[in-house]
Amino acid sequence: DTGVSQDPRHKITKRGQNVTFRCDPISEHNRLYWYRQTLGQGPEFLTYFQNEAQLEKSRLLSDRFSAERPKGSFSTLEIQRTEQGDSAMYLCASSLAPRTVTGELFFGEGSRLTVL
C-alpha cells in the first residue's frame, strides 16, 4: 500500500533561495491539498486541485508560492525568495471526490522547511 509520499522530508535553506516540494498522492485520488503547519498550530489550508485544475487558493497565500499538478498526478509546491516566516511543515493530502465531503483526507508525513 503506497500512501501519500512527500519529498524531501527536510529542507534547510538560506533566506532568498527558492525551494520546491513534491507530493505523490494515493494513485486513484483525484483531489490533492496543500496545508502548512507551524509549531503549536493546526494545519492551515494553502490550495487544492481536482485532477489538474487548481480550484482554490487561500487568500493568505503569497504570490511567492505557486503550486502545480501536471496531468493530475503528482504535485509540486514552489516557494520563491524564501523568508524566515516560511519555516513550517508543508503537508500534502489527497482524497477521492465526491467522497471528500466526508473530510477524510489522507495526509503525507510532511516536508519540514527551515529558512535560515
Partner 1 sequence: EDQVTQSPEALRLQEGESSSLNCSYTVSGLRGLFWYRQDPGKGPEFLFTLYSAGEEKEKERLKATLTKKESFLHITAPKPEDSATYLCAVQAGNTPLVFGKGTRLSVIA
Residues lying near partner 1 in the complex (CB under 8 A): 4, 33, 40-45, 48, 56, 91, 93, 101-110
Q: Which residues contact 73 (CB under 8 A, 6 or more apart)?
A: 24, 25
Distance of alpha carbon 103 from alpha carbon 72, whole angstroms:
20
Smallest separation (angstroms) from partner 1 to the CB of 29: 13
Q: Which is nearer to partner 1, 80 or 107 (CB)?
A: 107
Q: Which is nearer to partner 1, 56 or 68 (CB)?
A: 56
Smallest separation (angstroms) from partner 1 to the CB of 89: 9
Smallest separation (angstroms) from partner 1 to the CB of 58: 8
DSSP 73: S
Partner residues linked to 7 by β-bridges: 22
- CB of 58 closer than 8 Å to CB of 45: yes
Smallest separation (angstroms) from partner 1 to the CB of 70: 21
- CB of 96 closer than 8 Å to CB of 63: no
